[in-house]
Structure 1
Amino acid sequence: MVKIDARGISCPQPVLMTKNALINNPIEVEITVDNATAKNNVERYMRQSGYSVSSKNIEDDFILYGKK
């Protein structure tokens, strides 16, 4: 599983980090962000890239799980 910590980073950087991680076509990806805009943008990008996405909110963070 590829894990990305994009907390404290504003868009579009979390999406670009996700894009770079998906180059190797991992089966599972976990991305942590700390704002709703980044959550929505990363989630949309992962779905467009063929991943099913689920998320959970832990305190001020959003953890996105992508799976092929």
Structure 2
Amino acid sequence: MKKIVDARGLSCPEPVILTRQALQEQGVKEIKVMLDNKVAVENVTRAAENLSWKVKVSGQSDNFLLELTK
């Protein structure tokens, strides 16, 4: 199952909280997280990797897409 988290316009820790909720849902194998700042990218990446998810980051400046896979 795929899930999309749109955390653009939110400041930390909100993007991390929303992403962690998605990571803990049953049956979710892929999550796309949309972010608009580098600090949120770093924090969400760290949180996902700590839960053994693989992270692929694409985008630049104020438009990032993180693809998280189990």
Task: Verify same fold: TM over 0.5.
Answer: yes
SS in 1 for 2:20: helix
Q: Report how far residue 5 of structure 1 moved.
A: 0.4
46, 49, 64: which is aligned to 1:47? 49
Q: Report how far residue 24 of structure 1 moved.
A: 1.4
What amino acid maps onto 2:16 in structure 1?
V
What amino acid maps onto 1:28 in structure 2?
E
SS in 2 for 1:31: strand
61, 64, 70: which is aligned to 1:62? 64
Q: Report how far residue 22 of structure 1 moved.
A: 1.2
Identity of aligned residues (%): 35
* Residue 13, structure 1, aligned to residue 14, structure 2: yes
Q: Report how far residue 23 of structure 1 moved.
A: 1.4
RMSD: 1.2
CA distance in 2, matches of 1:59, 1:19: 23
Alignment correspondent of 1:38 = 40
What amino acid maps onto 1:38 in structure 2?
A
Normalised by the length of structure 2, the TM-score is 0.90
Q: Extract structure 1 runs of 4+ deviating beyond 6 A.
A: none
CA distance in 1, matches of 2:45, 2:24: 16
Normalised by the length of structure 1, the TM-score is 0.93
